[in-house]
Amino acid sequence: MKSFNKTTTLFGIALAFTIAVGSAYTFFFVAMKNKTEATATLSASSGELSGKESRVLSAGATLKSESVRVEKLSSYFIKESEIVMFTRKIEALGPQSGTTLTIESLDRGLTEKTVPYLNLRIKAMGKFADVMRLLTFLENFPGKFEWKTIRLVRDDSAKQQTGAHAPKSDNTTEWSAEVFLTVLNFVKE
């Protein structure tokens, strides 16, 4: 009977040890599973946060690198406070082209969709080549113009003063150009 007791005792110890090891394994498995889930959640939120940080840093770097282009783009818009500077730039085209240029009218307004615009009426006098050079300068002026009217007239007053039999000279013939433009890149502040 002693051997039965010894075997039973060993069996009981082995069974208790197996239950203890199984319980410890189950406890550690559940604890690790919970820790893994918490770590995965933390890792995902960390990934989202680092993604947001990288997007913000990327946007900041892009803004810094694009600031020159943004300034160049904003220079194409004429603000309400910069009308005087704009008219000076337009008037400076006269001496550059060799014409006598005057701005006859400058009117602000709003379209039916409440988009601001600026109407501009220019009169220029000079030789034909100079007047055409001025029109080319206006076409290439930084900004968006809608050309409403261009009236190009040859001034025959010099021919009338010298007589009908005077020789023709294209260098002395004066031309006048009247241009009516709408500035579409006008921004009201």
* Model confidence pLDDT, tens digit, residues 81-101: 888 888 999 999 999 999 999
Q: What is the DSSP letter of 99?
A: S
| pTM more than 0.75 | no
Q: Are 168 and 90 in contact (CB under 8 A)?
A: no
Non-local (6+) Cβ contacts of 94 within 8 A are 100, 101, 124, 134
User: What is the rounded end-to-end Cα distance, in angstroms, of the chain?
Assistant: 107
Compute the distance between CA of residue 13 and CA of residue 130 in angstroms, rounded to an integer: 114
- Of 35-49, 70-84, 86-100, 105-119, the poorest mean pLDDT is in 70-84
CATH dotted code for 78-187:
3.30.70.60
Q: Please say if the pLDDT value at position 162 is more than 70.
A: no
What's the rounded Cα separation, in Å, for the pair 17 and 179?
104
Sign of the alpha-carbon torsion through 108, 113, 114, 116 = negative
- The closest of 62, 65, 140 to 97, measured between CA atoms, is 140
Distance CA 15, CA 10 (A): 8
As to burial, measured by CB atoms within 10 angstroms (0-12 exposed, 13-18 middle, 19+ buried), residue 120 is buried
